[in-house]
């Protein structure tokens, strides 16, 4: 059993912290939103009055916050987690943030640190089946392994500081492009008089196959569990996909690399977000494509 401080008890953090409690760990949580704290207390967690108090005495400090600025402030800021935690503590940031901030925080926090973003969404967080992509020293990863295992099923050590965030950015850039081309093909099939089911039967067993097609098929019917069958309720929201594509483009720009499909995917999701669809699952991008979205100039 480990003493764990957990900061950020939102849609992902709350079930992750509950799974740590269920695994028998002593978890002290903090969130700026009082309702998040009462939910955590009801689940048997100990509530702290501040982030620093949650980190005090902790062997591991897990953060699950919205984005890079919140993580930098929470860890490095005045009253931050780095200074408040014991010298031997391990800081594990599970938020999805930019690679540069992840590296900056790891370099400046003065503690053993890992970036460990996740995929699997709120369902994976509830079921403790998340995939963790981890950046940081091998020996720190080994120490954190039992903690991460209590919240996830697949753990991949990707390399040094920032490597977890880099893997997440690359993966989600691939996912977005796969979803867009799958949706485009479904719309083209409609125009050509081909049923969605017929295209699915062929492509799911052929070289057009992808996770976007076989798990998150953007039209209702072929994959009953996909968000298209429930009005595109997420799932993985357009707002989060647009955020992750922005992080991928920032990462590409930081090394002077052009990623033409990644850039186009980002602009299409940004437009869909601006049109007010951030709360829909990212597979709803098919609606934009049906509307005849042209490539941005």
Q: Tell the smallest beta-carbon distance from residue 63 to ligand NAD (Å).
A: 8
Binding test (CB under 6 A) with ligand NAD, winner from 19, 70, 259, 283: 70
Binding test (CB under 6 A) with ligand NAD, winner from 5, 13, 80, 135: 13
Cβ–Cβ under 8 Å, residues 171 and 146: no
For the chain, what is the HEC assignment? CCEEEEECCCCCHHHHHHHHHHCCCEEEEECCCHHHHHHHHHCCCEECCCHHHHHCCCCEEEECCCCHHHHHHHHHCCCCHHHHCCCCCEEEECCCCCHHHHHHHHHHCCCEEEECCEECHHHHHHHCCEEEEEECCHHHHHHHHHHHHCCEEEEEEEECCCHHHHHHHHHHHHHHHHHHHHHHHHHHHHHCCCCHHHHHHHHCCCCCCCHHHHCCCCCCCCCCCCHHHHCCCCCCEHHHHHHHHHHHHHHHHHCCCCCHHHHHHHHHHHHHHHHHHCCCEHHHHHHHHHCCCCCCC
Binding test (CB under 6 A) with ligand NAD, winner from 17, 61, 64, 217: 64
Nearer to ligand NAD, 48 or 213 (CB): 48
Six token digits for residue 29: 């949580």
Q: Tell the smallest beta-carbon distance from residue 247 to ligand NAD (Å).
A: 9
Q: Which residue is nearest to ligand NAD (CB)?
A: 10
User: Where in 86-145 is the site for ligand NAD (CB under 6 A)?
Assistant: 95-96, 118-119, 121-122
Six token digits for residue 262: 């990644």
Residue 57 binds ligand NAD, judged by CB under 6 A: no
Binding test (CB under 6 A) with ligand NAD, winner from 37, 55, 65, 199: 65
Nearer to ligand NAD, 94 or 183 (CB): 94
Binding mask 207-246 for ligand NAD (x = CB under 6 A): -----------------------------x---x--x---
Candidates 27-35, 142-150, 181-189, 270-278: pick the segment binding ligand NAD (CB under 6 A): 27-35
Burial (0-12, 13-18, 19+ Cβ within 10 Å), 240: middle
Please give the size of the binding site for ligand NAD, defined by CB under 6 A.
Answer: 28
Selection from 40, 18, 59, 37 nearest residue 150 by Cα: 18
Nearer to ligand NAD, 65 or 173 (CB): 65
CA angle (106 as vertex; 66, 40 as ends), nearest 5 = 40
Residue 12 binds ligand NAD, judged by CB under 6 A: yes
Binding test (CB under 6 A) with ligand NAD, winner from 20, 36, 75, 179: 36
Candidates 17-25, 66-74, 105-113, 188-196: pick the segment binding ligand NAD (CB under 6 A): 66-74
Check if 168 is active-site.
Answer: yes
Residue 262 binds ligand NAD, judged by CB under 6 A: no
Nearer to ligand NAD, 97 or 203 (CB): 97
Residues assigned a catalytic role? 168
Residues that bind ligand NAD (CB under 6 A): 7-13, 30-33, 36, 51, 64-67, 70, 74, 95-96, 118-119, 121-122, 236, 240, 243
């Amino acid at each position: 059993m480990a003493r764990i401080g957990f900061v950020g008890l939102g849609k992902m953090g709350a079930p992750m912290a509950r799974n740590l409690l269920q695994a028998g760990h002593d978890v002290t949580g903090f969130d700026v939103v009082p309702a998040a704290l009462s939910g955590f207390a009801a689940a048997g967690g100990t509530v702290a009055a501040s982030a620093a108090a949650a980190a005090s005495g902790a062997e591991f400090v897990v953060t699950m916050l919205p984005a890079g600025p919140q993580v930098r402030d929470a860890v490095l800021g005045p009253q931050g987690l780095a200074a408040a935690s014991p010298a031997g503590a391990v800081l594990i940031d599970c938020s999805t943030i930019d690679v540069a901030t992840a590296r900056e925080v790891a370099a400046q926090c003065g503690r053993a640190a890992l970036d460990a973003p996740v995929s699997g969404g709120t369902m994976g967080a509830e079921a403790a089946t998340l995939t963790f992509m981890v950046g940081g020293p091998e020996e720190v990863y080994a120490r954190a392994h039992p903690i991460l295992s209590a919240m996830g099923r697949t753990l991949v050590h990707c390399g040094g500081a920032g490597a977890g965030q880099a893997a997440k950015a690359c993966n989600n850039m691939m996912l977005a492009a796969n979803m867009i081309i799958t949706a485009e093909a479904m719309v083209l099939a409609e125009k050509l008089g081909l049923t969605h089911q017929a295209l699915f039967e062929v492509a799911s067993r052929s070289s057009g196959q992808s996770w976007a097609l076989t798990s998150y098929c953007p039209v209702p019917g072929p994959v009953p569990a996909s968000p298209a069958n429930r009005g595109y309720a997420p799932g993985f929201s357009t707002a989060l996909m647009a955020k992750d594509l922005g992080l991928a483009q920032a990462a590409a720009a930081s090394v002077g690399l052009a990623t033409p499909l990644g850039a186009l995917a980002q602009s299409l999701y940004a437009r869909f977000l601006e049109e007010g669809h951030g709360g829909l699952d990212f597979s709803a991008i098919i609606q934009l494509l049906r509307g005849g979205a042209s490539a941005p100039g």
